[in-house]
Amino acid sequence: MTNRTLYCKVPGAMNHSELLDELVSIKRRTHADLSAGAWRWLLVWAVISLGFVVMLAVPGFHGPARWYWTLAVPLGLGATMVADRWNTDSDSRVRRRDRPYWLTTAGMIVLTTGGGFILPGRWPLVWLWVVFAGGFAVLLGLEGERRLSQALWLLTATFAVLAAIAVDPWSTSMTFGGLLSLALVFAAKASHSRWLT
């Protein structure tokens, strides 16, 4: 009798432990195979983001920089689509669904474009970075990279707070004051109901 048949016929803890280890190993290898094609869309959007940073660094380009994304986003989406097509046509036998990726990217475009038209002063630039960083955090989450996604969320939140303080300290303090008041109300409600029960 081999170890493999022993796994499920004898309910011994050692065999269950080995079975769990094997399953974890299978999950890890599948995850690695899935991530093999992810570098393509990451590369496309990293180049586009880097292009924006380079553009900001060049004197006299601050005006056009505001419209950079209007051109870059459709180009980036086209390149991502080609990369995705390439991945599908190649011998990729393990895939994730495309729809969440497209919905996230479409959400990023709507939010950045909408914010550019609605927000005043220097807010569109802050909004743009926050939406893109948040969008990338979602995309990393979809890739199953939970730690990286959480780290990016933390960085995005830190950047958003610092940028908001720099752009408009009064509105930022009022917003955080409001959020803190709401949190206090919920905390009071929770503790009150606990006291009653």
Non-local (6+) Cβ contacts of 74 within 8 A are none
Nearest approach, Cβ of 24 to other proteins (angstroms)? 8
Residue type, 47: V
State yes or no: residue 30 binds other proteins (CB under 8 A): yes
Nearest approach, Cβ of 144 to other proteins (angstroms)? 7
Is the CB of 15 or the CB of 49 nearer to other proteins? 15
Per-residue contact flags (x/-) with other proteins for residues 82 to 101, judged by CB under 8 A? ------xx---xxxxx----
Piece of 10-18, 59-67, 105-113, 177-185 that binds other proteins (CB under 8 A) = 10-18
CA distance 45 to 76: 7
Nearest approach, Cβ of 81 to other proteins (angstroms)? 15
CB atoms within 10 A of CB 76: 20
Number of chain positions touching other proteins (CB under 8 A): 26
CA distance 152 to 134: 7
State yes or no: residue 53 binds other proteins (CB under 8 A): no
Q: Cβ(109)–Cβ(125) under 8 Å? A: no
Locus of tokens 């914010």? 115
Q: What's the full length of the chain, in residues? A: 197
Q: Of 179, 161, 181, which is closest to residue 169 (Cα–Cα)?
A: 161
Is the CB of 30 or the CB of 181 nearer to other proteins? 30
CA distance 88 to 74: 21
Structure tokens at 147: 């730690």
State yes or no: residue 7 binds other proteins (CB under 8 A): yes
Nearest approach, Cβ of 44 to other proteins (angstroms)? 22
**Interface residue list for other proteins (CB under 8 A):** 4, 7-8, 11, 13, 16-17, 19-20, 22-23, 26-27, 29-31, 33-34, 88-89, 93-97, 144
